């Protein structure tokens, strides 16, 4: 009977009920949306470095090394010599190695010079290997493999020629226009910075910076090998045994030939999250404030309606309704509005995720969640519903007191 009374009574106050529902829905979109985004960004970052045990680079700040080598978010440090790379490759603890040479770009997308190990050993997400959506991995120094977002944004197809520019981003100042590259492959989307990268061989990078023209078949300059560069910026390592990570890290930090830094990506990510926690907490506090405002709107709207509902409550009291039933009607109403608002919010979020997913993947290589509600969010939802019911207690108590003061008949 109470549900019928709540619904029928709300139907006479449609406008204010709708506004409350919308306010609660929007605050839920903020709270759950921010939390999902935060979680997803972390998952994306973790996914990007999931297979890498160590990243070796010239000595520098560990955070900077992580950000430039994997996420292309910062400027590369100086290179490490090819002999050092060779030393790493031959080290007994090392299972696989991926050289990374940076510094060029193509229309704002970073160019990554690497070798076949990249395709063979780089892992993202839960041990997923890279795969080609079309074409094949580069074999020659004049071939390029595009990340999925690059191919999509710039509309390139296999066989297109592109020109790389010196410098990391922005409108290029110097173009390596005497060395056009041919697109031979496009990688499948991964939701990592790989999608935003342009991949060439180390030989290709060496060629465009040596001034030699590999297409014309001229021999390389004296003292320069055409197939390898002088140096690379970083080397990603996969180890035979993960337990060897710390000892190898120590060993490399004492490397004699040149000063090196070896970082454990997972550890740096944890540091990064500790650094960003302040900002995240500020966002969370903001969304909590929005929820609080929505709940205050709920309380004040129900309170304001009570004056007009005195007769309604007197009728219920006369028919035998006690405190429990009066609370049932008022708290039931606020719980119902909170529930509908929450469901509306979750639906809005779900639709937004669905609509924005392709854009987020193409623009930021961010995979949006595709869930309506995850187990992890249940406590948040429960807390919102609880807050909605508690908010209803205030007008409920007032309604009950009114009914005592009014006695049998409220004054008009």
Partner 1 sequence: MVLELDNLRYQHPGQARPFIHIDHFALQPGERVLLHGPSGCGKSTLLSLVTGIRPARQGHIRVAGKPFSSLSQRRRDAFRADHIGVIFQAFNLLPYLSGVENVCLSAGFSRRRCERAGASNHRQRRDAAQDLLNRLGLDAATSVLPAWQLSFGQQQRVAAARALFGKPGLIIADEPTSALDTDSRDTLLTLLCEQCEDAGSALLMVSHDSQVADRFHRSVAFSALNGGGHHAA
401 binds partner 1 (CB under 8 A): no
Using CA atoms, how far apart are residues 46 and 113, in angstroms rounded to an integer? 23
181: Cβ contacts below 8 Å, ≥ 6 apart: 142, 143, 144, 161, 162, 163, 164, 200, 204
Task: Supply the minimum distance, in Å, between the C-beta of residue 188 and partner 1.
Answer: 58
Q: Does 150 bind partner 1 (CB under 8 A)?
A: no
Question: Strand, coil or helix: what is 290?
Answer: helix
Among 50, 57, 148, 403, binds partner 1 (CB under 8 A): 403
Beta pairing, strands 181-187 & 143-146: parallel
Does residue 314 bind partner 1 (CB under 8 A)?
yes
The per-residue DSSP string of 163-189 comes to --EESSSSS-SEE-TTS-EEEEEEEPP
- Cα–Cα distance, 189 to 131 (Å, whole number): 9
| Half-sphere exposure in the Cβ direction for 333 (13 Å, CA) | 31
Nearest approach, Cβ of residue 148 and partner 1 (Å): 57
Contact residue for partner 1 among 17, 144, 316, 337 (CB under 8 A): 316
For partner 1, the binding residue among 289, 293, 318, 386 (CB under 8 A) is 318
First-to-final CA distance of the chain: 27
Report the Cα 348 to chain-centroid distance in Å.
19
The mark string for 320-349 relative to partner 1 (x by CB under 8 A, - otherwise) is xxxxxx------------------------
CA dihedral for 128, 134, 136, 141, sign (positive or negative):
negative
Pattern 12-31, binding to partner 1, x per CB under 8 A? x-------------------
Token pair, residue 1, equals 């009977």
CB 311, min distance to partner 1, A: 4
Shortest spacing between CB 409 and partner 1, in angstroms: 6
Nearer to partner 1, 120 or 318 (CB): 318
Task: Closer to partner 1 by CB, 310 or 367: give it.
Answer: 310
Q: How far is the CB of 320 from partner 1 (least distance, A)?
A: 2
What residues are paired with 198 via a beta bridge? Answer: 111, 146
Residue-wise DSSP of 31-72: HHHHHHHHHHHHHHHHHHTTT-SEEEEES--HHHHHHHHTT-
Segment interacting with partner 1 (CB under 8 A) among 7-15, 207-215, 240-248, 373-381 = 7-15
**9, 16, 117, 134: which one binds partner 1 (CB under 8 A):** 9
Task: Give the residue, chosen from 131, 319, 370, 379, that forms a contact with partner 1 under the rule CB under 8 A.
Answer: 319
Q: Which of 95, 311, 376, 401 binds partner 1 (CB under 8 A)?
A: 311
Contact string 100-139 vs partner 1 (x = CB under 8 A): ----------------------------------------
74-78: list long-range contacts, CB under 8 Å, 24+ apart. Answer: 75/168, 76/102, 76/103, 76/233, 76/234, 77/233, 78/231
- Binding part of the chain for partner 1, among 31-39, 140-148, 187-195, 314-322 by CB under 8 A, reads 314-322
Nearest to 108 by CA among 140, 147, 81: 147
Question: Please, which residue, 259 or 407, has the CB nearer to partner 1?
Answer: 407
Contact residues toward partner 1 (CB under 8 A) are: 1, 4-5, 8-9, 11-12, 311-312, 314-325, 403-404, 407-409
């Amino acid at each position: 009977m109470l549900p019928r009374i709540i619904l029928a009574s709300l139907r006479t106050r449609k406008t204010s009920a709708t506004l409350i529902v919308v306010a609660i829905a929007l605050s839920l979109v903020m709270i759950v949306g921010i939390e999902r985004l935060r979680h997803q960004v972390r998952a994306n970052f973790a996914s990007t470095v999931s297979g890498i045990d160590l990243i070796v680079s010239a000595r520098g700040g560990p955070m900077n090394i992580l950000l430039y080598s994997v996420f292309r978010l910062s400027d590369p440090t100086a290179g490490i010599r090819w002999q050092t790379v060779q030393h790493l490759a031959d080290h007994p603890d090392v299972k696989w190695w991926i050289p990374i040479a940076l510094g060029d770009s193509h229309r704002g997308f970073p160019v990554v010079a690497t070798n076949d190990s990249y395709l063979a050993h780089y892992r993202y997400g839960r041990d997923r290997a890279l795969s080609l959506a079309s074409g094949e991995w580069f074999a020659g120094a004049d071939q390029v493999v595009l990340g999925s977002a690059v191919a999509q944004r710039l509309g390139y197809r296999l066989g297109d020629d592109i020109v790389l520019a010196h410098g990391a981003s922005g409108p290029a100042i110097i173009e390596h226009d005497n060395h056009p590259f041919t697109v031979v492959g496009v990688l499948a989307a991964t939701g990592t910075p790989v999608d935003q990268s342009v991949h060439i061989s180390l030989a290709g990078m060496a060629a465009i910076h040596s001034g030699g023209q590999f297409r014309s078949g001229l021999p390389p300059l004296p003292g320069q090998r055409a197939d390898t560069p002088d140096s690379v910026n970083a080397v990603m390592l996969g180890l035979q045994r993960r337990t060897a990570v710390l000892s190898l890290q120590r060993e490399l930090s004492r490397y004699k030939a040149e000063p090196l830094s070896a970082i454990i990506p997972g550890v740096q990510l944890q540091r990064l999250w500790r650094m960003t926690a302040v900002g995240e907490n500020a966002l969370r506090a903001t969304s909590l404030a929005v929820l609080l405002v929505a709940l205050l709107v709920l309380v004040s709207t129900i309170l304001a309606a009570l004056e007009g509902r005195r007769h309604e409550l007197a009728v219920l009291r006369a028919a035998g309704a006690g405190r429990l039933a009066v609370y049932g009607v008022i708290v039931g109403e606020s719980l119902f509005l909170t529930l509908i608002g929450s469901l509306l919010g979750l639906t809005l979020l779900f639709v937004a995720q669905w609509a924005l997913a392709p854009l987020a993947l193409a623009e930021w290589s961010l995979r949006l969640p595709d869930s309506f509600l995850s187990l992890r969010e249940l406590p948040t939802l429960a807390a919102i519903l609880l807050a909605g019911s508690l908010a209803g207690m205030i007008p409920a108590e007032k309604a009950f007191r009114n009914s005592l003061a009014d006695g049998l008949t409220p004054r008009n």
